[in-house]
Amino acid sequence: MDLKRRDFLKVVGLGAAGSMLPGCGGETAKLIPYVLPDEEIVPGVANWYASVCRECEAGCGIIVRVMEGRARKIEGNPDHPLNRGKLCALGQASLQGLYNPDRIRGPLQRDGERGEGRFKPIPWEEAMSRWVSALQKHPGGAVLISRPVPGTLAGLFSTFMKEISGTVFFYEPSAERPLRAANRKSFGIDFLPDYDLANTTYLLSFGAPFLSHWLSPVHFGAAYGRMRQGRPEVRGRFVQVEPRLSLTAASADRWVPIRPGTEGLLAVAIGRLILEEGRTNLPRGDRSRFEKFYASFSIDRIANETGVAEEEIVRLAREFYTAASPLAIGGGIASEQTNGTDTLVAINALNLLVGNINRPGGIRFFRPSDFPASSAEVVGEQALLDLKGPSKKASRSVLMLYQANPLYTLPPSTQFRQVFEEADLVVSFSPFLDESTAMADLILPDHFFLESWGDHVTEGIAPAAGLAQPVVIPRYDTRPVGDLFLGAANRFGGGVKERLSWTDYRTMVREQWRDFFDRRQPGQPFEAAWVEALQKGGWWKPEGKPVSISQRGAPSAAEPARFEGSEKEFPFYFYPFPSMGLHYGQGANRPWLQELPDPMTTVVWGSWVEINPKTAQEYGLAERDLVRVISPYGEIEAPVVYFPGNPPDLISVPIGQGHRAYGRYAEGRGVNPLALLAPLIDAPSGALATGATRVRIERTGRKGRPVLVDQTGQGTRRHTEGGEGEA
C-alpha cells in the first residue's frame, strides 16, 4: 500500500505547482490519516495530516496542508492541548527545513582530514557495517549525544546504549536544567509543572523569557493573551524583573531593572516581607525553616546589592501578596548564572509562601502521561564536559550525534572539540551539515521530521502524547534514525537484538501505542484507536486532578553570582540571548527566519551588538560602527545597534549567527557570541552559566553593514519623546 501511494505521489508530484485562480479548488478535506488508500487524493485538493512540530523542545501539535504530495503550509493543531491551533515563527518556517536546498541527500563518509568538512558518498550497506563494527570494537566506549526526544525514540536510544554498555546524553541548551533542579528542591517533583498564566492576576517574572523561548512559548503566549484580555472583569498585571529589557519585558506593565545575578536576593527580600507582614498561609512547621533562612538578610542591604530601590521592593512584595492569584516565575538571564538554581529556589519560595500551588493561576503539577517509552533525563553542559575529564570517556570512543550541535552551542573555552579529536569514530545522524556534523567521519542522515514516524510526550501541561506521521514521501536517500538503530541492533546480535527486535521504527511506534492503549482501554480494538490517534494528532485527556506536593523547600543559599573577568579590565556584563527567529542557531538555515526582522532592533540577515546609547557615545561609537567585544576567552566583531533597554554596563549580542557550517544561508554570516564565554557552571544543575562572563569593548574605526528593516528607529523615538505616544 505504501509503495502504491508513493508511486502515485511521484506521478502527481511531477506537475509543477501551477498557480490556480483563488478559490477554484474544492473544499478542504477533513484530517485524514496516512493509512487511507490513494483514491482519497485528488490533485488540487488539500489533505491535512496531523503531526508534531520538532523545531524546538516544546512539541506543539501541527496539521500540515499537503497538495500533490508536497507540504505547502503548517498550522497549529486546534485539538492539541499545548498550543490549541497556534504556532510560532519557527514552526511556520519548518517547511524550509524540509525543502532546504542544503539537506544531506544520502550517506557520506569523510574525504580528507577530520574537520575539513569534505565528504564523499558511501553506500548505506557499507556505512552501516562501518558504524556497527566500530561499536563492536569498542564495547562500552560508545557515546550518543542526542537532542531530547521524549517518547518512543528516547526509549530506543536508552535501551540500545544500555545494552551495548554505552552512554546516552540527552542535551539541549534550552532545556531549562536549573528550573528542573530548583523544582526538585522546592517541591520534590521531577517533572515540569504547568504555570497557569491564563488565570493569574499578578505575574512577577524574574527574567523568564516566556514570550520568546521558555519551555513552551506558544502555550504561554496563548495563556498570556487570556491573562490580559480573556476575562471580562480582570486584566492580569505583569511585572518583569531583569537587567536587560527583553522581548518579554517589553510586554510588561512595569520593567524593574536589576543587577545581573542578584535576582535571587530580590526574591529573598520579597519573601522576607511576606513573612514579616504575616501574609503567608504556610503551615507552622514549614514556616520556621523559611523564617530561619530569611532572618540573616536585611532589606536595605539587598536594595544596595540589587540596585532595586527599597520602596520598589516593598511595592513588589505588597502587590504580590495582596493579589488574588499571584504567580512568580524565573528563567532566562536570572537562571543562566553560577547561582541559577538557588535563584529559582528563592523564586519558588514566593509561590510556597502565598500558597498558589495547584490553585488556578498558580503552579499546577500534572503527572505526565504513562506513555511506555519514558523520557530520559536531560543533562546539563557539565555532563558533556566530563567526557574529557578524568574518566577519559572520550578517548578511543565511538561518538554519535543526533541533532545536537555541541561544537556550536558549547563555548570553545570548554575545549569540547577534544572529545571529537580523541574519538575513534564520529557518526552523525543529522539531516543538515552543521558544525558538529562537519567533524564526523560518517554521516547517516535521518529524514526530516515531516517525513518520519514518531511521537512526543509533553510534560507540564495536561498529559499529552503527540503522534507524528510522515506527511510527504522522503525526498532523498535518507533513513529514519529509528530504523538505523534497530538495524544496528539486529547486526549487533545478542541482548540488544532481543530487546529491540522490531523490523522497523514505524512498527515499534505502533507497538508502543498498542501497549499504551491496551493499558488505557483494555479490550478495545487497537486499529480504530490508532487511526483516531493519527487523525487527531495523538492522545490527550482533559485536565485531570493535579498531584499534591510533599515537599516545601525553603531557600538554602543566596550566594552572589560569580563572574569571570575582573571588573577593572572588563567593565561590562555580557549577555548572549537566543534570538527570536534563530533561537540557539538551529533556525539560521531557514531564509524566512534570516529575513525575519528582530522585533527589538529590526535587524535581518546578520549579527549586531546591543549597547546603551549613552555608553556607546562615551566610547565614540555611532550606530552601525563595527565594535570589538573582548572577553578573557575570545573576541568578536559586529556592528553596534543602540539599545535603550540595556543598562550602561551591559552588552548583549543575539545567539544564532556565526555558523562555520550549516548551509548557504547560515555560513559565514555574523558572529557567535558563545565564543566569548567562560566555562562557568551552575553547580546544582550542571548547566552552563551563559550570563557569567565579563567583557570590554574597543572601537575598530570601521563601519559595519547591519541591515535594519526599520530605518526610522531614531525617528520614532524623537516623535514620542516627552509625550504619550499612541497605542
Partner 1 sequence: MVEYRDQNAPPGGPYQWGMVIDLDRCTGCEACVVACKAENNIRIAGEDEAAQGRAVYWIRIERYWEGEYPNAQLKFMPVLCQHCGNAPCEPVCPVYASYHTPDGLNAQVYNRCVGVRYCGNNCPYTVRYFNWFEPHWDEPLNEQLNPDVTVRSVGVMEKCTFCVQRIRGAQQTAQKEGRRVKDGEVTPACVQSCPTEALVFGDRNDPESRVSKLAESDRGFGLLEELGTKPAITYLKRIK
Indicate which single residue of 592, 623, 660, 667 sits in contact with partner 1 (rule: CB under 8 A): 592
Give residues 222-241 in contact with partner 1 (rule: CB under 8 A): 222, 224-225, 228-229, 235
DSSP track, 463-529? -EEEEE--SS---SS---HHHHHHHHHHHH-HHHHHHT--SSHHHHHHHHHHHHHHHHSTTS-HHHH
CB of 672: closest distance to partner 1 in angstroms? Answer: 18
Rounded to the nearest 5°, which phi and psi values hold at 65? Answer: -90, 115
Those residues with Cβ within 8 angstroms of residue 298's Cβ, 6 or more apart along the chain or in another chain = none
Give the residue with the Cβ less far from partner 1, 211 or 354.
211
548 is a site residue for partner 1 (CB under 8 A)? no
Is residue 707 a contact residue for partner 1 (CB under 8 A)? yes
Q: What are phi and psi of 533, to 5 degrees?
A: -65, -40
Closest CB to partner 1 among residues 34, 210: 210
**380 or 537, CB closer to partner 1?**
537
The site that binds partner 1 (CB under 8 A) totals a number of residues, namely: 91
The count of C-alpha atoms lying within 13 angstroms of the C-alpha of 353, restricted to the half-sphere facing its C-beta, is 35
- What's the CA gap between 373 and 509, in Å, rounded? 10
Nearer to partner 1, 125 or 726 (CB): 726
Nearest-approach distance from CB 529 to partner 1, in angstroms = 29
**Residue 283 interacts with partner 1 (CB under 8 A): yes or no:** no
Contact 526, 532 (CB under 8 A): no
Dist. CA 80–CA 93, nearest whole Å: 20
Does residue 586 belong to the site contacting partner 1 (CB under 8 A)? no
Q: How many whole angstroms separate alpha carbon 410 and alpha carbon 406?
A: 5
Question: Is residue 75 within the footprint of partner 1 (CB under 8 A)?
Answer: yes
* Stretch of 31-39, 65-73, 109-117, 271-279 contacting partner 1, by CB under 8 A: 65-73
Does 245 sit near partner 1 (CB under 8 A)? yes
Evaluate whether 679 touches 411 at the Cβ level (below 8 Å): yes
Measuring CA to CA, how many Å separate 162 from each of 171, 381, 452, 542, 580? 17, 21, 25, 35, 37
* Positions in 96-135 near partner 1 (CB under 8 A): 96, 98-101
Instruction: Give alpha helix (H) positions in 54-172.
Output: 89-92, 95-98, 124-137, 152-163
In whole angstroms, the minimum distance from the beta carbon of 461 to partner 1 comes to 14
Tell whether residue 612 is a contact of partner 1 (CB under 8 A): yes
Buried-state track 484-511, b at ≥16 Cβ within 10 A, e below 16: bbbbbbbebeeebeeebebeebbebbbe
Does position 218 interact with partner 1 (CB under 8 A)? The reply is yes
Q: Which of 597, 637, 667, 683 binds partner 1 (CB under 8 A)?
A: 597
> What's 40's DSSP letter?
G
Type of residue at 205: S
- To the nearest whole angstrom, how small is the minimum distance from the Cβ of residue 254 to partner 1? 9
Minimum gap (Å) between residue 407 Cβ and partner 1: 25
Q: What cell was used for 309? A: 530601590
Alpha helices in 386-445 (DSSP H): 406-409, 417-422
313 part of the interface to partner 1, by CB under 8 A: no
Using CB under 8 A, pick the residue from 613, 634, 658, 686 that binds partner 1: 613
Residues 6+ apart with CB under 8 A from 701: none
Stretch that binds partner 1, among 109-117, 172-180, 211-219, 674-682 (CB under 8 A): 211-219
Virtual torsion, Cα 586, 592, 595, 601, nearest 10 deg: -70
Q: Is 93 in the site for partner 1 (CB under 8 A)?
A: yes
Contact 89, 60 (CB under 8 A): no
Give 640 or 677: the residue with its C-beta nearer to partner 1.
Answer: 640
Q: Cell numbers of 472, please?
A: 510527504
Separation between Cα atoms, residue 44 and residue 335, nearest integer Å:
50
309 binds partner 1 (CB under 8 A): no
The distance of closest approach from Cβ of residue 84 to partner 1 in the complex, given in angstroms and rounded to an integer, is 9
Binding of partner 1 by 19 (CB under 8 A):
yes
Q: How far is the CB of 149 from partner 1 (least distance, A)?
A: 24
Give me the count of residues in the chain.
Answer: 727
Which of 252-260, 337-345, 354-362, 532-540 is the region at the interface with partner 1 (rule: CB under 8 A)?
A: 252-260
Site for partner 1 in 627-686 (CB under 8 A): 644-648, 664, 669
Residue 677, classed as helix, strand or coil, is coil
> Applying CB under 8 A, does 604 fall inside the site for partner 1?
yes
Residue 26 CB, shortest distance to partner 1, in Å, is 9
Beta carbons of 315 and 328 less than 8 angstroms apart: no
Q: Residue 698 or 710: which CB sits closer to partner 1?
A: 710
Query: For partner 1, which residue of 113, 281, 542, 727 counts as binding (CB under 8 A)?
Result: 727
Q: Does the protein bind partner 1 through residue 150 (CB under 8 A)? A: no
The residue range among 14-22, 265-273, 281-289, 363-371 that interacts with partner 1, by the rule CB under 8 A, is: 14-22
Asked whether position 212 contacts partner 1 by CB under 8 A, the answer is: yes
Q: Residue with C-alpha cell 521524549? A: 150
Please list every residue from 25 through 44 that binds partner 1, using CB under 8 A.
25, 27-28, 44
Q: How far is the CB of 65 from partner 1 (least distance, A)?
A: 8
3-state DSSP assignment of residue 292: helix
Q: Under the criterion CB under 8 A, does residue 624 sit at the interface with partner 1?
A: no
- 278 is a site residue for partner 1 (CB under 8 A): no
> Helix (H, G, I), strand (E, B), or coil: what is residue 435?
coil
217 binds partner 1, rule: CB under 8 A: yes
Q: Which residue do the cell numbers 539587598 mark? A: 302
d(CA 394, CA 143): 8
**Closer residue to partner 1, CB minimum distance, 466 or 613:** 613
**Which one of 29, 250, 528, 557 is in contact with partner 1 (CB under 8 A)?**
250
- Using CB under 8 A as the binding rule, whether residue 332 contacts partner 1 is answered as no
Instruction: Name the minimum Å distance from CB 627 to partner 1.
Output: 18
**With contact defined as beta carbons under 8 Å apart, do 657 and 670 qualify?**
yes
Task: Pick the closer one to partner 1 by CB: 164 or 258.
Answer: 258
User: How many Cβ atoms sit within 10 Å of the Cβ of residue 324?
Assistant: 12
